[in-house]
Amino acid sequence: MKKQLRGIFPVIPTPFHEDMSVDYDAVKRVVDFCLDCGAHGFLTTAMASEFYTLTDSEHNQIVETIISHTAGRVPVVVGIASRSIPHGVMFAKHAQDVGADAIMSTPPVVESVLGKVTWDKARAYYNAIDEAVSIPIFIQNAPELGGTLTAEQMMQLAAENEHLQYAKEEGRNSQQITGRMMELWKKLPEGSFSGVFSGGGGFTMIGDMTRGACGIMPCCAVTDLYVDIWNMFQDGNIEGARKMHNLVVIAQLYEKNYWNAFTKSLLIKRGVLTCDAIRETTPLYDETCYKETQRIYDLLKPYFRV
């Protein structure tokens, strides 16, 4: 049985040049930064990677770059959110072929967002992905991507599919769903499931860990602080973890409004990126926003380790 994936798995953003081409050298710098921060693993080509703006070729090259540069130092989970079952299977097989440790997916994104994914369609999708690969699979249950699966449905999928071992839960009721999944897990045969990761930018990570979450998948700009929170919690210093998380929440709240624009601007402050270009349509990141980034950076800087 494979070792359980655990800990802080930051999402690697997609850096762009000013001309909006992917900056693969900057991808490597982000990987190095997260490793220096003590990350336990990575998530690639996900929401915080602007996956929905990438061509298939860019998606695959980013995955290959991250896996090659990581060189087995920590596990890499590859996001394979896709348009259809064949599209998802293609991404899944590619990820496995180039050395991914696991993959993560919602049901087909377009149908999910339009509310057209029925339970039968979700089952058919995950059954097809499970048959295509032999590495662990994460269900991503994300409202932004149409995620509406219940704890019972996700655990049924785990019971039906050999490789579907994890869930990333990031809905409004993530703490309750995580707790319910932990209860249902006890009723499954041994080896049927391996754990729940908390998403949603790490906003509810303390409550999720209290209920049994085995990992967190936040944005990467303050990875060292997330690792410190994780370590304190695992060592039993719950009060210390809460106090540190209360500081990080300030960044999380701004991140929720400005998403990748804030993450990239903070990574520039930390000396990781040189360009904060984004392809997605977001609220304009203006001079006032940059001043707020500076304020948050100054507030958190005393706690940075990298």
- How many CA atoms within 13 Å lie on the side-chain side of 89? 12
Q: Is 2 within the bounds of a domain?
A: no
Kindly state the average pLDDT of the residues 268-283.
88
Whether 211 has a pLDDT exceeding 80, the answer reads yes
Q: Dihedral angle at the C-alpha atoms of 241, 247, 251, 256, nearest 10 degrees? A: 60
Question: For residue range 3-14, what is the model confidence (pLDDT) as tens digits?
Answer: 789 999 999 999
- What are φ and ψ of residue 7, in 5° steps? 110, -155
For residue 5, what is the DSSP state?
A: P
Give the confidence band of 110 by pLDDT, cuts at 50, 70, 90: low
Hey, is 270 helix, strand or coil? coil
pLDDT at position 1: 46
Q: Is 287 within the bounds of a domain?
A: yes
Q: Where in the sequence is the domain holding 189, given as residue range(s)?
A: 7-303
Q: Is 101 within the bounds of a domain?
A: yes
Q: Is 221 within the bounds of a domain?
A: yes
CA distances (Å), origin 249, targets 29, 203, 216, 224, 271: 25, 7, 14, 14, 22
Whether 267 has a pLDDT exceeding 60, the answer reads yes
| Number of domains making up the chain | 1
Q: Is 109 within the bounds of a domain?
A: yes
Kindly state the average pLDDT of the residues 251-269.
90
Give pTM, 2 decimals. 0.95
Question: For residue range 152-164, what is the model confidence (pLDDT) as tens digits?
Answer: 999 999 999 999 9
Q: What is the CATH number of the domain that holds 170?
A: 3.20.20.70
Q: Is 1 within the bounds of a domain?
A: no
Q: Is 182 within the bounds of a domain?
A: yes
Kindly state the average pLDDT of the residues 19-31.
97
Among 150, 46, 160, 177, CA closest to 100: 46
Q: Is 155 within the bounds of a domain?
A: yes
